[in-house]
Amino acid sequence: MSDTTKKKALDLSIMKRVFHFVKPYRSFFIASLTLAIIMAIFAPVRPYLIQLTVNKSIHNNLPVPHWIQQIIFLKNSNDIFQFIINITIFQIIFLFVESAVRFAFTFITSWLGQNVVKDLRVTVYEKIVSLNLSQFDKTPIGTLTTRTINDIESINDIFSDGLIPIVADLLTIIITLATMIWMDWRVTLVSLVPFPFLIVATYYFKESVNKSFMKVRNAVAALNAFVQEHLTGMHIVQAFAAEKRELAKFNVINKEHRNANIKAIFAYSVFFPVVELVLAISTGLLVWWVADKKLDAGLLVAFILYLNQIFRPLRVIADKFNVIQMGMIAAERVFKVLDNENVLVESPQSTVNSQQHLEPIKGQISFDKVWFAYNEEHYVLKDISFDVKAGETVALVGHTGSGKTSIISLLNRLYHIQKGTICIDDINIEDYPIEKLRSSIGVVLQDVFLFSGSVLDNITLRNPLISKQAAIDACKMIDLHDFIMQLPGDYDYNVMERGSTLSLGQRQLISFARALLYNPAILILDEATSSIDTESELLIQKAIDTLIADRTSIVIAHRLSTIRKANKIIVLDKGEIKEIGNHESLLALGGFYSKLHEMSYDKQPVIG
């Protein structure tokens, strides 16, 4: 199979998938096609009426077709004045009807495109939020943003500016040509002598613009990814005085975008004058033939209008073909996201369990010979086994990169494990409905993420089932309420994007309130007191004591005070468990934990 054949087969497959989203709006699609046919039928009417008017004005005794007399309510065909009045009134009415049909066509096709885009965007977003976290480790956020916003918008153009308008234009050209041939096939052939040249020019224009637009689309994706990444990490860029270096990188990507657009602009700059030149030659040949054969003046006027009806769509039809092509390219990229199999799949047992309404999770945790790698070549966790009783507090200790965060990421199924099993209350975590599992595990991270919105929104995560009073009660339990009441607007205070208007300690306390409000059976604290000043630490330590009371807790902590209170300490190094015990027993052992303790004790009261 040739590359061209494969490409056509792929385009057909993609188009079928796009039209799958049209099914709920099938009646509107049929209506748009019906209106396209009506517009094409209407196209030759007015030029013909103008031809008849011109000829009747010159030759008063020219007979008027009976059906014309009927539709314009003309009683005496020899009354030239009455004829002109009646046919003019009819043309005005016809023009309004034609305009109304064109308005309905434009509105329905655009409405159809927007609704297809709405449904497709929801489907893509649902897919993105179901992807495993590893997918986001490998894919730039800007790329997924481009797929969800820009590429899907290009699919809308298939309907509003591409496929259906092309059908309407082609039908108009065909019916207009048929009318011209019916009226005088010789004049038609003479006036269309330059037409093949225009067809060739249109083909090369389409190919040239298509290549340019593909480069533009790739450049847009690169720009989105670059800007998204650098806006997120702007504090790093500025902290290391890297503005000029990053600006130089941006300029390179931006120039590629500009150059691709300029190539497309050049193609347009050549093509449109070519269309006008061919139209002028066709008009000249038409005038010469009509004058030479001494044909009716009305025929000349009508054919000039017909030529414009043919050439006007041809000016944009190549562009519309490119719109379809770009929409197909965008659709292919979007469907690659939808076809991504790296998703969290509910097991058959989890479906059964969801129907049987499992008992609330108590918090007993068991890791049994767990092996995990972010990629298949390098394991970051090796043969991890430990048990946590319900209500116990366990501290994970180890150097950076020892596997602490990986363990807690696996517990709520953010990643798939390669070997072993993880159980909660003696049930494999893969057999829990994912919503039940994650709603039973509260997570407080070192890098707190707050959404743009009010303090209340960030505490409740806009859950309509949680009342404001419940949020206030949770804040009072961790001594956060008084601080919030001092803010302008108290619980309605806008924290801005990522909580930039709050200190690290304040953001941390809000995340604690969020975790407490959801009352999880298992609590995970990932270095939640790291990089906190002493005053904030006292508040946060009290909040931690409140949070971990009567619930299973896994704590990744640097602070000695948190570690000493743990029922069990698991010491990790390079993805392996080195020691397990409480603070005193591990110190008495004089092993790995003891060395970590001595190293940190000499510097500051931290460990890990």
pLDDT for 109-118, tens place per residue? 889 888 888 8
- 3-state secondary structure at position 414: coil
Q: May I ask the CATH class of domain 349-601?
A: alpha beta
Average pLDDT, the chain: 81
Mean local confidence (pLDDT), 530-539? 58
The larger pLDDT score, comparing residue 6 to residue 28, is at: 28
CATH 1.20.1560.10 domain extents, the chain: 12-338
Q: How many CB atoms lie within 10 A of CB 412?
A: 21
The encoded tokens of residue 192 equal 């269309």
Q: Residue 375: is its pLDDT beyond 80?
A: no
- 3-state secondary structure at position 607: coil
The larger pLDDT score, comparing residue 36 to residue 78, is at: 36
Mean local confidence (pLDDT), 547-576? 79
CATH topology of domain 12-338: ABC transporter transmembrane region fold (1.20.1560)
The encoded tokens of residue 318 equal 């190549």
pLDDT at 534: 56
Cα–Cα distances in Å, from 277 out to 157, 273, 310? 29, 6, 14
Of 253-262, 300-309, 494-503, the range with the lowest mean pLDDT is 494-503
Per cent of the chain over pLDDT 90 is 10
CATH 3.40.50.300 domain extents, the chain: 349-601
* Amino acid identity, position 348: P
> How far separated are the first and last CA of the chain, in Å rounded?
60
* Amino acid identity, position 260: A
The encoded tokens of residue 449 equal 């993420």
| Closest CA relative to residue 536, chosen from 512, 516, 515, 571 | 512
Name the pLDDT band for 234 (thresholds 50, 70, 90): confident
Contact criterion met (CB below 8 Å) for 425 and 361: yes
pLDDT at 604: 46
Question: 45: which strand partners?
Answer: none
Mean local confidence (pLDDT), 573-596? 85
Mean local confidence (pLDDT), 22-41? 91
- 3-state secondary structure at position 553: strand
Cα–Cα distances in Å, from 378 out to 374, 386, 453, 574? 7, 22, 40, 11
The encoded tokens of residue 401 equal 């990169």
260-281 per-position pLDDT tens digit:
888 878 887 888 888 888 889 9
509-525 per-position pLDDT tens digit:
888 888 778 778 888 88
461-478 per-position pLDDT tens digit:
888 888 888 888 888 887
Mean local confidence (pLDDT), 85-95? 89
* Amino acid identity, position 3: D
The encoded tokens of residue 251 equal 């300029």
Q: Which residue has the tokens 């001595």?
A: 598
Burial of residue 122 (CB within 10 Å: 0-12, 13-18, 19+) is: exposed
Q: How far apart are CA 207 and CA 469, in angstroms?
A: 63
Q: How far apart are CA 356 and CA 352, in angstroms?
A: 6
Q: How far apart are CA 449 and CA 454, in angstroms?
A: 13
Which residues, 6+ apart, have CB-to-CB distance to 588 below 8 Å?
none
| Closest CA relative to residue 350, chosen from 434, 438, 440 | 434
Q: Residue 529: is its pLDDT beyond 60?
A: no
Q: How far apart are CA 133 and CA 145, in angstroms?
A: 16
Q: Residue 437: is its pLDDT beyond 80?
A: yes
| Closest CA relative to residue 272, chosen from 311, 225, 322, 214 | 311
